[in-house]
Amino acid sequence: MALSMMRKAAGFHQVDADQIATVVEEMDRVVGSLDNLILRGQDVMLGVFVRPSTKKTASGLVLYTGGTGADQTEDTYQGVICRVLKLGPMAFNVEHFPSVLHEWGDAEAIPKVGDWVFVQATTGIQASYKGTGSQRTTMFESAVQMPDDGGWPVRIVAFSDVIGKVSDPSVLV
């Protein structure tokens, strides 16, 4: 029993670099412009990492990889991995919060736009965002209970709620 659960858990993490790049491209396309979004002081807008259920090969062929719409719905509401989309003017600001440098160890480690971070699944405000120029995605077609407004699932959190940073979003589910 324990071995089968471990195999299932390992399957959650099977997202390759091409799939991650696809998620980043889709997230950016669906989110659109963030120019009209103003965050207050210490807040951070995070795009939730939603595992794709398909993979595009070099020849352009789309293959089903075993993910389900239920997996995507689970990621949307319970996922802990997110990508930093926008920072409020004081978020991770070392001049205003010198302890940030000590907490993160060095300036390179401090999260910035584009980085993958992790937070508690219940942290912040969950929403769906689509800015100017947003384009719909087909990535969620098999998902159930996904935002039907065409936006991307996001969370708005205080910068102090960001627990850590990862270089590969598939390492932590």
Taking only the tens of pLDDT, the chain with its 173 residues reads 444 443 444 444 556 787 788 889 989 999 999 999 999 999 999 999 987 766 566 676 555 454 556 676 677 777 899 999 999 999 999 999 999 999 999 999 999 999 999 999 999 999 989 999 988 777 766 665 555 567 899 999 999 999 999 999 988 87
Residues with Cβ < 8 Å from 65, sequence gap 6 or more?
14, 19, 52, 53, 54, 55
- Predicted local distance difference test score (pLDDT) of residue 51: 78
- Predicted local distance difference test score (pLDDT) of residue 11: 46
CB 67 within 8 A of CB 51: yes
* Phi, then psi, of 167 in degrees rounded to 5: -90, -20
Global pTM value: 0.81
**What is the C-alpha separation between 136 and 133, in angstroms, rounded?**
10
- Predicted local distance difference test score (pLDDT) of residue 61: 56
- Predicted local distance difference test score (pLDDT) of residue 147: 55
Query: Per DSSP, which regions of 30-80 are E strands?
Result: 43-48, 54-56, 62-64
On the 0-12 / 13-18 / 19+ scale of CB atoms within 10 A, 9 is exposed
- 72: its two tokens: 């995507």
Count Cα neighbours of 90 within 13 Å in the Cβ-side half-sphere. Answer: 11
- Predicted local distance difference test score (pLDDT) of residue 49: 92
- 48: its two tokens: 């939730």
Give me the residue label for tokens 């598939």.
170
Q: What is the CATH number of domain 15-171?
A: 2.30.33.40
- Predicted local distance difference test score (pLDDT) of residue 99: 94
- List the domain boundaries for the chain: 15-171
